Amino acid sequence: MNAVLRFADAREVADLAAFLGRLIHYDRAAAVRLQAGGGALAVFGRPPSFEVLAIRTARLQDESVALDVTVSAGELLESLDETASTARVPAAVTGPPWAGVLPPRGGWQPVPGLPEPEAIRGAIAAAVAEFRARDEALPEERRSRAERERIGREIWSRTLGSTELPLRAVHAAQSLGFLRPVRVLAPAGAPTGPDPVALLASGPWLRLRTPYGSVAVRRAGLGALAVSPA
């Protein structure tokens, strides 16, 4: 495929490059599914450490562009041209199973109970600190990868506040750069308040949405699902 995507500006390219770089950090062979339409590009990826879907969107110049293809994240990153605000779509690859099970495009409804952004970051920090403390406390005979994974599953499977959102989804959002302060200037020139973060639901899916991207997860988990059109 030789299609060229033209982005609205260089900032869109830079933000997409940062997202792809973080995905590749967790999986050098990462694939991403691209869907374009209505002047927007949605990029879906699944960092293996978190078992969630990560979504980053970017504005395009041409609203008539239509695209749906799975490609190498590394090749897409290499094709990004920030100066020209373009990307050449790489050749399609055989998509991993998750690429056929995407969240719905519509029907999202707000879910109550999500803590404030600062409290969300605090919950992640507390979970990381607990993991490190329990890992350090392991006796030598139990210090194995399997035991560390068991501790990690126990901690990151917990839910956030009064919601059903697992902590691993919030941890993924922070690790992928989605949970950061929004620097918007008020008329007087002072920064406004914290990030506008929302929790949404559609069918079995939960989605943590931030200005920088979204993380989606199914309430029953992703792994046991049959592939269905998205």
Query: pLDDT at position 95, please?
Result: 82
Computed over every residue of the chain, the mean pLDDT equals 89
Tell me how far apart the alpha carbons of residues 193 and 206 are, in angstroms, rounded to a whole number: 25
* 26-83 residue pLDDT tens: 999 999 999 999 999 999 999 988 889 999 999 999 999 999 999 999 999 999 999 9
- Closest of 56, 62, 36, 59 to residue 44, by C-alpha: 56
Query: pLDDT at position 180, please?
Result: 80
> Strand, coil or helix: what is 172?
helix
Q: b/e per residue, 115-138, with b = 16+ CB within 10 A?
A: bebeebbebbeebeeebeeeeeee
- Domain ranges for the chain, please list them: 4-100, 109-218
> Strand, coil or helix: what is 168?
helix
Q: What percent of the chain has pLDDT over 90?
A: 79
Query: What does residue 73 show for φ and ψ, rounded to 5 degrees?
Result: -65, -40
Tell me how far apart the alpha carbons of residues 31 and 28 are, in angstroms, rounded to a whole number: 9
Band of the pLDDT at 153, cuts 50, 70, 90? very high
| pLDDT of residue 145 exceeding 80 | yes
| pLDDT of residue 126 exceeding 90 | yes
| pLDDT of residue 130 exceeding 80 | yes
Annotation: CATH topology of 4-100: DNA Polymerase III; Chain A, domain 2 (3.10.150)
Band of the pLDDT at 219, cuts 50, 70, 90? confident
